[in-house]
Structure 1
Amino acid sequence: MNAAPAPGILAVDIGGTGLKAAVIDDAGRLLGQHLRVPTPRPCPPDRLLDEVARMAATLGGYDRISIGFPGVVRRQRVLTAVNLGSPAWQGFPLAQALGDRLGCPARMVNDADMQGYGLAAGDGLEFVMTLGTGVGTALFRDGQLMPHLELAHHPMEDGKTYEECLGDAALRAEGRESWNRRLSRALALVDILLKPDRIHLGGGNAREVEAGSLPRRVGVGSNDAGLAGGAALWRSWDPAHA
C-alpha cells in the first residue's frame, strides 16, 4: 500500500506590485494552481495578512508556510519594507502572525534569498539579483545562503543606488535600452566585488533583460523561482540568515 503524499508547503512571494502564492512539494514543484493578486497600496501588515489568507483559503493541502519578503528580515521580524509604503512594518513578526492566522508554522526570508534558493545550482559562488519594483540581491556558496546583502540601497553611480538605477521606476523613466546598459554596469561592479562563478537574474522585470548581450555565466531564471525556493526553508534552516 502506497503512503499518502505529505502535505505541501504554502509558498508566499511578496512583491511591491504583486502577491503570489502556491502550494509546493518538498522539491519545490507546484502542486496545483499558482495565484497572483495586486499588492495593496499602501500595504500595512493587516492588509497583507488579509490578502494572503484569502489566497490560502482557495489552495489548501499545506502544513507549513514559506514567506519571501521584500525587505530586511532579522530573527523572523521585518526591519525594512521600502516598497510596501507603510511604517507599520518595522519590527513586525510576519512569520508568527501569518502562522497564527493560518494555523501552521511559518518561516520567512528576504524575497531575493528565497528566489535564490530556487535558482542557485549549488556549485561555487552564485550571486542572485531580482529585478522588479525594486532590486534584491542574494549570495550563495555551494548552495548555502550567505548573510543577506542589501546591495540595492548601496551607491552604484552618480549618487544613485542600485535600486534607483535598476528599479521599475528607472525602467519606465529611461526606457529598456538605457536600463539594460545600467544593468550591464551593475553586473560589472558585482563581478569586481565578488567574482561570482555564476549570476542569476530573476524577478518580474527580468523579462526586459537583453539576454543575448549577457556574459555566458549570467542567466535569466523563471519568475516562479520565488515560490519554488520556499521548499529550501524546510530542508535546511539557519536562523542566522533569518
Structure 2
Amino acid sequence: MNHAPFDSEPFEVFAPAGQDGYARPLTLSVDCGGGAIKSAVCDARGHLVTESRRIDVSYPFTPEDLIAMIISVRDWAAEHGAAPQRVAVGVPGMIRAGTIEYTPHYIRTAGPHTTVLPELENAWNGLNLAGALEKALGQPVRVVNDSEIHGAALITGQGLEVALTFGTGLGSAHFLGGALQAHLELSHGQFLADTTYDQYIGEHVRRRLGNDEWSGRVVEIVSALFPVFRWDTLYIGGGNAHNLTPEALEALTAIGPLTRVVANSVALSGGAHIWN
C-alpha cells in the first residue's frame, strides 16, 4: 500500500496572478472552532496572503459576536493591503446551503460540554449565516462545516476522499471526484452504547486519558469508519493530530489504500478551494 504520512501540500487551482504574484480573487478564510476563531486571506490558489490570526472565543457567544469578529478581520486585512473579494467560513456542526441546522458549541454557556442556553440555541440553529454575513459585509459568502474547509485544502479530485479532523471533537468531510458531498455529522453518532464519537475521542477525553490511550481510541474509530466509507484517500488533521503517538500513526497508515496525516495549518487555504 502507498502511504504518505505528514503530507501538508494543498491541491492548487490555478488562476491568473496579479502584479503582486497573487491569483485573484482573494478570499477571507475563517475557521471557527470551539475555543478560537482562526482566519487569513488567501489567493485563488490557496496561498496565504496574510498571516494567520487567532482570536479566542469568549462565551456566551452569539451570531452577532461572530459577525462582528469577521468584519474586524476583513477590515484588518484591507488595512494591510489584502482586501478580500469574497469570504469562506467553516462552522462546527450541520450546515446546509449556508444555514446552520445545528451547531454544538456556540449554543452553550461556557463552551463545549457546558449547559445549553435556550436563547442561544434559538439564535444559532436555523440561522442563515451566509445571508447574514453577505448583508453585513456586502460581499459574497460561503458557509460550510469547518472540516469541509479543511478537506477542500487537501483533495486531489481523485476518487472518494475523506477528511477526519480531531480537535474539540470529531469533524468529517467527504468529496467524490473533487465535489463536496452532503455533510454527515458523525461526531454525534453513537459509537458505543450511550457514547457518541465526540464523547469517546473529544479533547476533554484526551486530556483525561493522556495521548497514548486517546491515540488508541482514534485508531479504533478510524478502523471502524473504513468499512462505512471505503475511501480511496483519507486525510487526518485537526488541532489534535499532532498529539497522535508514533505507534498510532503507523497503525493509521495501514488502514485503507492511502492515509495522509496533515498539518492543521493547511485548513485556511481551503477557504479559496471551497469556492471551486
- Scaled by the length of structure 2, the TM-score of the pair is 0.80
* Identity across matched positions, percent: 32
What secondary structure sits across from 2:275 in the alignment? helix
Q: Of 244, 247, 252, which aligns to 1:209?
A: 244
Separation in structure 1 between the aligned mates of residue 236 and residue 58 of structure 2, nearest angstrom:
26
For residue 180 of structure 1, what is the amino acid of its counterpart?
A: S
Instruction: Check conservation: 2:222, 2:252, Cα contact below 8 A.
Output: no
**Counterpart position of 2:49:** 31
Q: Does the residue aligned with 2:253 lie in a helix, a strand or coil?
A: coil
Question: Aligned AA for 2:46?
Answer: G
Given that 2:235 and 2:260 are in contact with CA atoms closer than 8 Å, whether structure 1 keeps it comes out as yes
Matches within 5 A, 1:155-174: 155-174=190-209
Q: Which residue of structure 1 aligns with residue 268 of structure 2? A: 227
Rounded Cα–Cα distance in structure 2 between residues aligned with 1:91 and 1:159:
27
Counterpart AA for 1:214: L
- CA displacement at 1:42 relative to structure 2: 2.1
Aligned counterparts of 2:210 and 2:241: Cα–Cα separation in 1: 14
Contact 1:152/1:161, CA 8 A, preserved across alignment: yes
Q: Indicate whether 1:80 and 2:102 are aligned.
A: yes
Among 179, 184, 194, which residue is 2:229 paired with?
194
The equivalences for 1:101-140 within 5 A come to 101-140=136-175
Determine the C-alpha separation between the residues in 2 that align with 1:125 and 1:76: 23
1:182 shift after superposition = 0.8
Gap runs ≥5 in structure 2 = 1-16, 109-119
- Give the CA deviation at 1:233: 2.6
Q: CA RMSD for the aligned pairs?
A: 1.7
Letter in 2 for 1:82: P
Distance in 2, Cα, partners of 1:107 & 1:44: 19
Letter in 2 for 1:32: T
Amino acid aligned to 1:234: W
Q: Which runs of 4+ in 1 moved over 4 A?
A: 2-5
Displacement of 1:214 in angstroms is 2.3
1:129 is paired with a residue whose SS is strand
DSSP-derived class of the 1:30 partner: coil
Q: SS at the partner of 1:224?
A: helix
How many angstroms apart in 2 are the aligned matches of 1:151 and 1:209? Answer: 20
Do the aligned partners of residues 174 and 57 (structure 1) sit closer, same or farther apart at CA in structure 2, a change above 3 Å counting?
Answer: same
Counterpart in 2 of 1:184? 219
Q: Deviations over 1:119-177 (max 9, x none)?
A: 22222222111111121111112222121111111111243111111111111121111
Letter in 1 for 2:275: W
Alignment of 1:231-242 (within 5 A): 231-235=272-276
Secondary structure, aligned partner of 2:264 = coil
CA distance in 2, matches of 1:182, 1:20: 27
Q: Residue type matched to 1:31 in 2?
A: V
- Tell me the residue number matched to 1:18: 36
Q: How many residue pairs were aligned?
A: 234
